[in-house]
Structure formats: C-alpha cells, structure tokens
C-alpha cells in the first residue's frame, strides 16, 4: 500500500518582520520540506532566499541539547534541569537579598515567541521587582515605537501590507527593502507592474533597492528629518494639505510648521542641508504632493540613529498634514526588523513598558499589579539595552538572563559588552546553539531552549498581524521552551501560584485577558476577544491583525482614518523635530561607518550560516568604499583593510562600490568571532543613542580605514 504523506504544518518564518507564512512537511528524519503558505496574507505563498532555505538549517549538529552549569572548578558541566533551575533561583534570591531587585536584568529577543516574552516580563516586573528587561528590539525599532507614541499616543502601525499593493507612490527611506524585507519588495514590484506605482528611495547608499527607484535620493547621513521637514513646509502651501483633517484630528501643526520652516524653508535650502540636488528634492516634493495614495516605509536607516525618533515624527507629520493615514493605499509604515519585535512589545518587552502596551504611570502599574496579584511590582522604568550593559560593566547589575540573542556580537561596543558579561555574578544564557560569541563569555548556566520547528506560540509581524508559530519537529528530550524554564524559576522562588500554565495557550489567554482588563477602549493594544479561547481554537488561530476587542471576530486592517488616536484628547500630535545637521566624522576617524544586513544572512548567522547556498551569495565579511576614497589608500576590491574606531577594530575584505556615498563605509553585521577571525563590526560601533528612544546609532560611527 502507498505510504501516507506526512501532514504539513502551517507556521511562520523565524527571520524578518515580514512574518511570512510557511508550510512545513516533516520528512521523518529530522528535516522538513519548506514551502510558502499561499493562505497567509503576509506573503501569499512567496518566500525569499532565506525562507526558502530553511529546510537546510534543520538538524541537531550545532544544538545545545542539555543544561550546563558552571561548577566550583570553573568548568561548565552537564546538569539536570532541576540542578540548573535550582542554581538560577538560589543565585537570584541571594543577589536580590544582597543588592536589591535592580541588580537583576533580562535581555530578550525579537526572536522569542510572545508567550516566552510574556513569561519573562511577568516574572521580572511583577515578581522580582525589576524593570531591567530590555530586548534586542531596542536596536531594531524603538525609535519607531517612540515616534508612534509621541505622534499617535500609542505604539501603532496604522496600515496593512495591502496598502503597498494599492499605493501609487511608495517611499522607502532608510530601508534596503529588496534585501531586508524581500517579500514585501516583491509586492511593491508587483504593484509597479500592475498599477504603475512610483518608487522613491531615500538612502545614503545606492543599494539594490535604490537601483530600482524612479527617484533615488542619496541624502547625507542623519538628514531624513530635514528632508521631511522641507516636505512639510511644501505640503502646507499645496493642495495636498488637508486642513479639515488637521483641524479635526490633530494638534501642534502650527508649532511643527514653524520649526520646519526654521530649518528647511524651501527645496533649495533643504537640498543643500541634505546633500541632494535641488531638482531631485523638487521632484520628490511634487510626487508626494500629487499622489494621494502614498505609503512611506521606513526601517533601520531611520531608527538606528541618534535622532531616530525625530526622523519618525518628521515622516508622520507629512502624513498627518495630508490626512493620508489609515486609508487604503496610504500611510506611514514602519518595517519591523525582527519576526516578533511587535509581539514582544505587546507584552511589555521594553524596559519602559508594562504588558499590553501599558507604561509606568501609577494607575497602570497598579492595574497590572492587581491583574497579576504581583507581590513585587516594578514601579519605574528600567535600563534600556545600551544603558543596561553599561550598568553591568559598572557592576551595578549582578545577574543577567539572556534569551535567544547574541549581544556579544550585536550590541554597540561589543568588546566592552564581552568584558561586562564576563564580570557577572550570575549569567544565564538560554540558547539553541552550543557555541557563539555570547556563549564564550563564561555563562554560569546554559539552558537548551526550543528552536524554530519545535517552538509553539504566537508572533506578530510588521502589520500588527498575530500568527501562530507551530511545532513540526519532535523536541529533543532535554530541550524546553523558555516560558517553561521561567515558570520553573518562579516556582522555586515561591511564586508558583501565579505561573500555573500548562502550555502556551494558557499564557496567550492570560495575555489577551490583561489587554482587556479595565481597558474601556483606551488602549490601542486590545486582543480581549481571545481571552477565552479553547485549546483547539488557540491551535487554529488564523493570522489576524490587532486590535481584536471582545465581541469581535475580525481583526483591524487600518486605524486613524477618522482620527481616534490614543492620546487623552484622541488627537494626533505634530512633533517639531530638533534642529539637526548631517552626521560628521571626527579626526582621527575620517569616515562614517554604516552597518546593516545582507540579503542571504540573518543576524549572527547561527541558523542561516548552516545553509551552504546562503553563504554563496556573499561568503566573507566586507567593507564597501567609494572609489574616490579607495584610490588614495591604494585599496582595490578583494584586498583586506583594517577598519578602526574609538572602540575596536575589524579586518574586512574591500568592495569598491560607486553606490557608496563618499566619506562613508558600509559593513554587514552578521560575522562574529565564532564564524570569522576579525569580521565582527559590532566592536566598532559607538554607543551613541537617541535620547528619546534609547536606540543606538549604528549608521554613523566615526571610523578610519587602512590597507591590512
């Protein structure tokens, strides 16, 4: 008789914030056939090179498969889960007794599932009494979060991917979408074919995305807010200005316009300040003015900046002034970097947040305290990521639990981060892999966390769409989900009654119930419709965009077309950006170093590095240099160069690239000591942060370049 086909499982891709649906068919030998899910609204069956190669990354060869605990002899040794969790609980109790709860921190990841994130936040903020819980999402999009909160009163992306299909003009600023959100770029290309959608790309670097543009604006680093301020001035005197919307649904327009006029009164001044041709700026202004259906997408080039929040608000200002928000084919659109950066924030994954998008006002602290029955509720914001690691370096934070991320590679001043990690009294690392740069920083306990294919829970993508991530592979015998380990520690500390979850469905129901608890429709994040889901209904949740308040079945595709912002007066705020000039290099570092992703790798390559065909695209770490900068240094493509900054060094292969703005360098973020000798560029990046969001500026570190 023919063998029955193994059942396919619908899940989501573990990489970028597009959140593509994936159909996985296990082969019974630990692998699986991976296909795009045609029913998932984010990708409609498409996958990019990384998603399509997921099947090649499965296997246990590099996995951490049992707990490890460092003994009195200083060596890590295999341990049972009881031994590992006992050690964590007793060391946490001891450190809190001696130094108080602020000596404890958690560093989480946009790779975690929402349920894992919820458990970590509940334990830390409600039961240990520390808000020192931050995440690598701080490095990814916290400037967009802060900009949305200033403008809308809430951390809300107003639109949907469908708007990209229906726009007549798409503006991409600070985003190499073709490489970093490839499936969305395919949607944009399709819109261009189907309806003639125009594409404007704003980026100091001519990338594959810029090469496709109808208009490419290679602006000087850090001047996006100036460009959009100039646009606001232009719009205010154009037919595109929507006086009725501004009057009915916003405040602060006059002040924002005055501030914009002071720095960017006309196209000529704006062009000069941004290092652009006047005719190009005029064309950009004209395109925006003439095209009602305009979507402005922004990503790390906007967010990873010392003025990132101002850049976001300068963009939002232009959409508010034209009323082009939350309507079909219109709106500002933050392209999230990570697969669950948004889900993490929904449960309070940032140090300045509580769960369900609540903050640290006394009323919100009290509401969460009562909901959780929390004995030690954190009452003040904790350290944001860069500050958190500085506090570890100063010895103020003694205990750190890192989950699903590799900060010894990815944080700014990565060498200082390594030193800080090695000085901790308790360093717990929940990991999929045995070896990476963070695992080399002498953790006291390593916990084998469930990996993609084994994990079970939910994620939220860039368009607010919650999707299930489902297991399709057997979980190795001693591997556990992160929420289970957190619950185990909570039980050992005497908090078991509040952590009686049998599985992720229990956590999701609790999270959903909290989102509706004493809500009264005042919070943007509301999924209380899911508070009473059965196990089967949780298993079957179809991808849905929040908010989904109680009594609703359908999600919400768009918000704010008719106002209804989440500020006290329900009006959006125009925000006047601070005056700013282009970023500048400083002697003895004559270049500005920009960092970013390449097409076929993800983060620190612990998964994508396993697929040979992904490595074939760009096999080695490199630095891109403008020809006029390379020639005087005697550098040519293929040579090695040493890049130095005030914080570290890296040795990289030179790529001479005319698309690079003169005076700037670009290097990818993916390589580490674990996969190259000297290609770890996080060591070079300065720890300058945006004062509002705390997001580090990874795009303009003063650096020097020399032949190696």
List contacts with ligand SF4 (CB under 6 A): 13, 15-16, 18-20, 43, 47-48, 50-51, 181-183
Shortest Å, Cβ 140 to ligand SF4: 14
Shortest Å, Cβ 499 to ligand SF4: 31
Q: Which is nearer to ligand SF4, 55 or 648 (CB)?
A: 55
Shortest Å, Cβ 74 to ligand SF4: 40
Shortest Å, Cβ 339 to ligand SF4: 7
Shortest Å, Cβ 8 to ligand SF4: 17
Shortest Å, Cβ 16 to ligand SF4: 3
Shortest Å, Cβ 51 to ligand SF4: 2
Q: Which is nearer to ligand SF4, 96 or 183 (CB)?
A: 183
Phi, psi (5° rounding) for residue 86?
-60, -45
Query: Hey, is 474 helix, strand or coil?
Result: coil
Q: Which is nearer to ligand SF4, 15 or 495 (CB)?
A: 15
Q: Which is nearer to ligand SF4, 120 or 180 (CB)?
A: 180
Shortest Å, Cβ 42 to ligand SF4: 7
Shortest Å, Cβ 184 to ligand SF4: 7
Shortest Å, Cβ 139 to ligand SF4: 18
> Is residue 420 within a helix (H) or strand (E), and if so which, with residue range?
helix 414-422
Do the beta carbons of residue 574 and residue 553 sit within 8 Å?
no
* Ramachandran class of 380: left when φ > 0, alpha when ψ lies in -120 to 50, beta otherwise: beta
Q: Which is nearer to ligand SF4, 50 or 384 (CB)?
A: 50
Q: Which is nearer to ligand SF4, 161 or 288 (CB)?
A: 161
Do the beta carbons of residue 100 and residue 470 sit within 8 Å?
no
Q: Which is nearer to ligand SF4, 471 or 702 (CB)?
A: 471
Shortest Å, Cβ 68 to ligand SF4: 31
Q: Which is nearer to ligand SF4, 93 or 186 (CB)?
A: 186
Among 120, 576, 105, 42, which Cα is nearest to 307's?
576
Q: Which is nearer to ligand SF4, 303 or 515 (CB)?
A: 303
Among 269, 323, 264, which Cα is nearest to 293's?
323
Do the beta carbons of residue 201 and residue 213 sit within 8 Å?
yes
Q: Which is nearer to ligand SF4, 54 or 236 (CB)?
A: 54
Phi, psi (5° rounding) for residue 657?
-140, 115
Q: State how beta strands 445-448 and 426-431 pair.
A: parallel
C-alpha–C-alpha distance, residues 1 and 435, integer Å: 45
Among 221, 199, 219, 220, which Cα is nearest to 211's?
199
C-alpha–C-alpha distance, residues 316 and 331, integer Å: 8
> How many of the other CB atoms lie within 10 Å of CB of 83?
14
Helix locations, 139-223, DSSP H: 142-152, 162-166, 177-180, 182-195, 208-211
Beta bridge partners of 26: 32
Shortest Å, Cβ 240 to ligand SF4: 32
Estimate to the nearest angstrom the gap between the alpha carbon of 117 and the chain centroid.
14
Q: Which is nearer to ligand SF4, 181 or 464 (CB)?
A: 181
Do the beta carbons of residue 188 and residue 335 sit within 8 Å?
no
Q: Which is nearer to ligand SF4, 25 or 637 (CB)?
A: 25
| Residue tagged 């009915």 (tokens) | 248
Q: Which is nearer to ligand SF4, 182 or 349 (CB)?
A: 182
C-alpha–C-alpha distance, residues 125 and 369, integer Å: 9
> How many of the other CB atoms lie within 10 Å of CB of 506?
16
Shortest Å, Cβ 425 to ligand SF4: 38
Do the beta carbons of residue 643 and residue 623 sit within 8 Å?
yes
C-alpha–C-alpha distance, residues 666 and 24, integer Å: 36
Shortest Å, Cβ 50 to ligand SF4: 4
> How many of the other CB atoms lie within 10 Å of CB of 693?
26
Do the beta carbons of residue 479 and residue 470 sit within 8 Å?
no
C-alpha–C-alpha distance, residues 598 and 592, integer Å: 19
Phi, psi (5° rounding) for residue 344?
-60, -40
> How many of the other CB atoms lie within 10 Å of CB of 665?
28
Shortest Å, Cβ 293 to ligand SF4: 24
Q: Residues, the chain, total?
A: 708
Shortest Å, Cβ 650 to ligand SF4: 25
> How many of the other CB atoms lie within 10 Å of CB of 1?
3
Q: Which is nearer to ligand SF4, 57 or 693 (CB)?
A: 57
Beta bridge partners of 216: 201
> Is residue 596 within a helix (H) or strand (E), and if so which, with residue range?
strand 591-596
| Residue tagged 């990996």 (tokens) | 451
Query: Hey, is 538 helix, strand or coil?
Result: helix
- Residue 159's alpha-carbon distances to 366, 372, 556, in angstroms, are 32, 32, 9
Phi, psi (5° rounding) for residue 655?
-125, 110
Q: Which is nearer to ligand SF4, 279 or 613 (CB)?
A: 613
Shortest Å, Cβ 179 to ligand SF4: 10
Q: Which is nearer to ligand SF4, 16 or 79 (CB)?
A: 16
Q: Which residue is nearest to ligand SF4 (CB)?
A: 51
Query: Hey, is 298 helix, strand or coil?
Result: strand
Do the beta carbons of residue 10 and residue 39 sit within 8 Å?
yes
Phi, psi (5° rounding) for residue 692?
-90, -50
Q: Which is nearer to ligand SF4, 20 or 592 (CB)?
A: 20
Q: Which is nearer to ligand SF4, 16 or 400 (CB)?
A: 16
C-alpha–C-alpha distance, residues 39 and 55, integer Å: 20
Shortest Å, Cβ 485 to ligand SF4: 26
Do the beta carbons of residue 297 and residue 175 sit within 8 Å?
yes
């Amino acid at each position: 008789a023919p063998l029955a086909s193994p059942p396919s499982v619908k899940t989501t891709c573990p990489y970028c914030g597009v959140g593509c649906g994936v159909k996985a068919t296990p082969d019974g030998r630990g692998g699986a056939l991976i296909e795009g899910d045609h029913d998932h609204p984010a990708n409609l069956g498409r996958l990019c090179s990384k998603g399509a190669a997921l099947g090649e990354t499965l296997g246990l060869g590099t996995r951490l498969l049992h707990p490890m605990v460092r003994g009195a002899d200083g060596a890590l040794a295999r341990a049972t889960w009881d031994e590992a969790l006992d050690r964590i609980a007793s060391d946490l109790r001891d450190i809190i007794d001696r130094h108080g709860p602020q000596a404890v921190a958690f560093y989480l990841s946009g790779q975690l599932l929402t349920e894992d994130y919820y458990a970590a936040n509940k334990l830390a903020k409600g039961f240990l009494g520390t808000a020192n819980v931050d995440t690598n999402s701080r490095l990814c999009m916290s400037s967009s979060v802060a900009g949305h909160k200033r403008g809308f009163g809430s951390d809300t992306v107003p639109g949907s991917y469908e708007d990209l299909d229906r726009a007549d003009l798409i503006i991409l600023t600070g985003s190499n979408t073709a490489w970093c959100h490839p499936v969305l770029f395919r949607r944009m290309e399709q819109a261009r074919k189907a309806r003639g959608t125009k594409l404007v790309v704003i980026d100091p670097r001519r990338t594959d995305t810029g090469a496709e543009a109808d208009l490419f604006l290679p602006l000087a680093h850090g001047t996006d807010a100036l460009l959009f301020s100039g646009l606001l001035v232009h719009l205010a005197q154009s037919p595109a200005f929507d006086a009725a919307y501004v009057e009915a649904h916003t405040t602060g327009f006059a002040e924002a316009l005055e501030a914009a006029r002071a720095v960017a009164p006309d196209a000529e001044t704006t062009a000069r300040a941004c290092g652009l041709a006047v005719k190009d700026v005029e064309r950009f202004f004209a395109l925006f003015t003439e095209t009602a259906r305009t979507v402005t997408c922004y990503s790390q080039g906007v967010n990873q900046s010392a003025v990132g929040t101002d850049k976001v608000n300068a963009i939002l200002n232009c959409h508010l002034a034209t009323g082009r928000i939350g309507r079909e084919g219109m709106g500002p659109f933050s392209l999230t970097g990570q697969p669950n950066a948004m889900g993490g924030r929904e449960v309070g994954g940032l140090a300045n947040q509580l769960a369900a998008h609540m903050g640290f006002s006394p009323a919100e602290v009290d509401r969460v305290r009562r909901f959780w029955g929390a004995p030690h509720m954190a009452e003040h914001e904790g350290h944001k990521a860069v500050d958190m690691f500085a506090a570890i370096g100063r010895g103020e934070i003694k205990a750190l639990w890192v989950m699903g991320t590799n900060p010894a590679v990815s944080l700014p001043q990565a060498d200082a981060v390594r030193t800080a990690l090695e000085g901790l009294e308790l360093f717990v690392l929940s990991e999929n892999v045995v070896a990476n740069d963070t695992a080399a920083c002498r953790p006291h306990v390593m916990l084998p966390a469930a990996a993609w294919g084994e994990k079970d829970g939910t994620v939220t993508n860039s368009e607010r769409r919650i999707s299930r991530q489902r297991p399709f592979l057997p979980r190795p015998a001693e591997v556990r989900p992160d929420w289970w380990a957190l619950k185990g520690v909570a039980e050992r500390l005497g908090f078991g009654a509040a952590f009686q979850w049998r599985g992720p469905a229990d956590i999701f129901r609790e999270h959903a119930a909290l989102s509706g608890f004493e809500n009264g429709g005042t919070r943007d994040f509301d999924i209380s419709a899911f508070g009473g889901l059965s196990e089967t209904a949780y298993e079957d949740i179809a991808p849905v965009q929040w908010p989904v308040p109680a009594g609703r079945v359908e999600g919400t595709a768009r918000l704010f077309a008719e106002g209804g912002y989440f500020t006290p007066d329900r009006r959006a705020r125009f925000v006047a950006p601070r005056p700013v000039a282009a970023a500048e290099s400083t002697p003895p570092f004559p270049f500005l170093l920009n960092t970013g992703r390449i097409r076929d790798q993800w983060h620190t390559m612990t998964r994508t590095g396993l697929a040979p065909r992904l490595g074939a695209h760009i096999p080695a770490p490199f630095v891109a240099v403008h020809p006029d900068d390379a020639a005087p240094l005697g550098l040519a493509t293929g040579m090695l160069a040493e890049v130095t900054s005030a914080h570290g060094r890296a040795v990289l292969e030179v790529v001479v690239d005319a698309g690079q703005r003169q005076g700037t360098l670009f290097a990818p973020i993916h390589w580490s000591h674990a996969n190259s000798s000297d290609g770890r560029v996080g060591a070079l990046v300065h720890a300058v942060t945006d004062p509002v969001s705390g997001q580090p500026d990874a795009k303009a570190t003063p650096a020097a370049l020399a032949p190696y």
